């Protein structure tokens, strides 16, 4: 089915009307998005630019969630009690806020640069330690 540039309104059984948009990526693959507006009269007026604006907001939220999981340990729970889980979530959010403040103040280039610099430093120190004379193979 061909999706026009300004979307296609379809009816989903037992759900209602949604507007479908198609996005084609540089490498040729496509992704389809269904948008729901509770005021169906506005669904007809919803255009591609409205979809792009929503998608930009959506992408920002996705990046935020990925950073929380990858950099702040949100998905690495080692606790079971409610209080410990809440504390873990709070600490993850606090760590993200600290990263964002550092990025705003230009202390770091991006959320990931701190992790990259730390990894490079650890790898460099390990390699230099392995090259030291005390670790050489001498008979």
DSSP conformation letters of 71-114 = TT-TT-----SHHHHHHHHHHHHHHHHHHHHHHHTTSSSSTTHH
Residue 66 is predicted with a pLDDT of: 93
| The predicted structure's pLDDT at residue 88 | 92
Q: Has residue 11 been placed in a domain?
A: yes
Domain contains 19: yes
Domain assignment present for residue 3? The answer is yes
Structure tokens at 60: 């920002």
Say how many domains are in the chain.
1
Q: Which is nearest to 71 in space by CA: 111, 117, 123?
A: 111
pLDDT of residue 49: 93
Q: Residue 52 domain-assigned? A: no
- Confirm whether 123 is domain-assigned: no
Q: 90: closest CA among 72, 102, 112?
A: 72
Query: Does some domain include residue 33?
Result: yes
In a domain, 112, yes or no: no
Each residue of 109-120: pLDDT tens digit?
A: 999 998 888 888
Residues lower than pLDDT 50 in the chain: none
Asked, for residue 42, whether it belongs to a domain, the answer is yes
Domain of residue 12, residue span:
1-46
Please give the structure tokens belonging to residue 101: 């403040």
């Amino acid at each position: 089915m061909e999706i026009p540039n300004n979307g296609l309104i379809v009816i989903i059984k037992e759900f209602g009307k949604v507007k479908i948009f198609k996005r084609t990526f540089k490498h040729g693959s496509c992704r389809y998005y269904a948008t729901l507006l509770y005021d169906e009269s506005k669904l007809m007026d919803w255009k591609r630019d409205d979809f792009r604006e929503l998608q930009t907001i959506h992408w920002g939220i996705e990046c935020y969630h990925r950073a929380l999981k990858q950099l702040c340990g949100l998905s690495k729970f080692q606790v079971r009690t409610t209080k410990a889980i809440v504390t873990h979530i709070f600490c993850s959010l606090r760590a993200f806020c600290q990263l964002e403040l550092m990025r705003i103040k230009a202390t770091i280039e991006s959320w990931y640069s701190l992790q990259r610099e730390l990894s490079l430093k650890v790898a460099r120190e390990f390699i230099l330690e392995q090259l030291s004379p005390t670790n050489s193979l001498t008979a």
